[in-house]
Structure 1
Amino acid sequence: MDTQGKHIIFFDGDCLVCNRFVQILLKIDTNNRFLFSSLQSDFAKNSLNVIPKNIDSIIYLSPTGSYIKSEAILNICKTLGLPYSIVYFLKILPKKWRDAGYDYFAKNRYKWFGTNKYCTVPNEQQRKKFV
């Protein structure tokens, strides 16, 4: 699959919250803008220059740039358009503050929500969106 110029979201495949976020995006991305890949996948390892040893961030590659942590979430919401792009107003907060909140959540997400014990089986149309 040619991924050049696509919007690709790399997520922690072991994270229950991250997987739920992907499931929500699959439902609301009616314009099929996004492709998805687990950070643990071979595709991610081959596509990303550096994968953090301590996988604690979503990574969003778009035709206009690459984003991590709060920047990734905000830019994903912006790409979705209204009403989701309203979240982009949080960009007025200093990045340092936004990323501190993101890091706190990321550090505690397994403790609060657990890990993904079962793989969600995507339907045929959704399977086309995973690389």
Structure 2
Amino acid sequence: MIESREPFSYQKDKNVPPFSAGSVFTVMDAQCSLCARGATWIARHDKAQEFKIIPLQSDLGGALMTHYGLDPSDPASWLYVEDGRAYSSLNAFIRVGKRLGGIWKVIGLLHVLPTVWQDGMYRFVARNRIRFLGTADLCTLPDPEVRKRLLL
């Protein structure tokens, strides 16, 4: 569960290294195949080219997770920040779909599920993602759209 914070609170946290990501960024596991596919999906469908991707294993990624009360070593940890407000779990995925627009807004239909179901589904996939899909190295993906969005 994300700790409630005022918008852009990470900018005032001395433990978070200064960075420039614009209004939309995500922190995701750079060693997870599902996350690498997610980064590619975001890069290909982000027509406004506004998303930045921060590897969880970076100093910045770990500091942002800790700032929001998330455990950087927990496989279910994923962070999405939009206009200074942080989201995680399936709620973050739904918001990414809305932000990308078009057909991806359909992901918002998942919001009708009770929160306990959303969290359960997300946790099941997150905890088993390596077993189901293996590993990858997000930082060495050949996709130039992904590489130009990475903040290392």
TM over 0.5: yes
Question: Structure 1: any 5+ residue segments left out of the alignment?
Answer: none
2:12 paired residue number: none
Runs of 4 or more off by more than 3 Å in structure 1?
125-128
1:99 paired residue number: 119
1:126, CA displacement in angstroms?
4.3
Alpha-carbon RMSD across the aligned residues, in angstroms, is 1.9
CA distance in 2, matches of 1:70, 1:45: 20
Question: Structure 2: any 5+ residue segments left out of the alignment?
Answer: 1-18
CA distance in 2, matches of 1:21, 1:15: 10
Q: Residues 117, 12 of structure 1: CA spacing in aligned structure 2 closer, same or farther, 3 A cutoff?
A: closer
**Identical residues among aligned pairs (%):** 24
Decide whether the 8 Å contact of 1:12 with 1:56 is kept in 2: no
TM-score normalised by the chain length of structure 1 = 0.87
2:8 paired residue number: none
1:14 is paired with a residue whose SS is coil
2:20 paired residue number: 2
1:57 aligns with 2:74: no
2:50 paired residue number: 33
1:115, CA displacement in angstroms?
1.1
Decide whether the 8 Å contact of 2:47 with 2:100 is kept in 1: no
1:120 paired residue number: 141
TM-score normalised by the chain length of structure 2 = 0.76
CA distance in 1, matches of 2:148, 2:137: 23
Query: When the two structures are aligned, how many residues end up with a matched partner?
Result: 129
CA distance in 2, matches of 1:107, 1:128: 28
Residue 101 of structure 2 is aligned with which of 75, 81, 91?
Answer: 81
Q: Residues 121, 99 of structure 1: CA spacing in aligned structure 2 closer, same or farther, 3 A cutoff?
A: same
1:127, CA displacement in angstroms?
3.4
